[in-house]
Amino acid sequence: MTKKKILVVDDDPHIREVISFALEKAEMSVTLANDGKQALETFEKAPSDLIVLDINMPEMDGLECCREIRKTSDVPILFLSSRDDEIDRILGLEIGGDDYVTKPFSPRELVARVNVILKRTHGKVNDTNNESIVFNHGKLRLDNEQHSVWWDEQAVSLTATEFAMLAQLLKHPKKVFSRDAIMQGSYQYNVYVSDRTIDSHIRHIRSKFSDVGCHKIIETQHGVGYRLSSCE
């Protein structure tokens, strides 16, 4: 089995060492970067399967680095933050992050979160779930195993969190999901995000589908939540 490639970005050498040791112990391949600029250069030369990205760094912080990466890639990003406040969390996830860990953190928890994101990204389905690997709904098709989505045979690139949200709606196309239900179905380890963050992810999904000609992928049920459209 090919080792997953993880890019760890933090200006603190001790933090880099701790994370690197934990990930390598979990049989992952680790590349290190000291700041956002170095991370961009490293990722351009050798793309990774996931990026662990500190928010507060000199030269270029994690949020700006994420914005730059999202211009060309949907690689999963796990944010690290030394500030335990909601603004960092909301902003980080809204600009394309998939999860976050607040410092100080348990290396075991960080590895677990990395594994969850990688599993979600690559669509490994637990056989005991008895769920179909491929879902079809009108012109919409989603493949859990390949972590791929198509609209009318056109590929749509989604982040891991966006993919999880769309898959949740697609598995129950007639159901209206509240924001709390979407949050519980798309995030692991009781991660809390605001309604604003859920709405932002939905906007991103709609925008990406609009780019391929689908202008109504998700409907808003005012006062309740969201549901999948007819997708015709």
Kindly tell me the sign of the dihedral angle through the C-alpha atoms of 138, 144, 145, 149: positive
- Tracing tokens 């112990």 back to the chain, one arrives at 25
Closest CA to 78 of 109, 47, 52: 52
pLDDT of 88 reads: 67
CATH fit for domain 127-228, picks 3.30.160.100, 1.10.10.10, 3.20.20.80, 2.60.120.480: 1.10.10.10
- Tracing tokens 């749509």 back to the chain, one arrives at 156
pLDDT at 2 over 60: yes
Q: Which of 80-94, 107-121, 194-208 has the lowest mean pLDDT?
A: 80-94
pLDDT of 188 reads: 57
Query: How distant, in Å, are the alpha carbons of 43, 116, 166, 169, 184 from that of 126?
Result: 31, 13, 18, 19, 18
pLDDT digits (tens, 9 = 90+) for 131-187: 457 888 889 999 887 788 999 989 998 888 888 899 999 988 889 999 988 888 776
Closest CA to 170 of 193, 197, 150, 200: 150
Q: What is the model's pTM?
A: 0.65
The pLDDT > 90 percentage for the chain reads: 47
CATH fit for domain 5-122, picks 3.40.1410.10, 3.40.50.2300, 1.10.260.40, 3.30.70.580: 3.40.50.2300
Closest CA to 28 of 8, 48, 3, 57: 3
CB contact at 8 A, 229 and 219 = yes
Q: Both tokens of residue 38?
A: 């170095």
Domain definitions of the chain by residue range: 5-122, 127-228
User: How many CB atoms sit inside 10 A of residue 123's CB?
Assistant: 18
pLDDT band of 128, cuts 50, 70, 90: very low
Sheet of 5-9, strands arranged across: 29-33, 5-9, 50-54, 77-81, 99-102
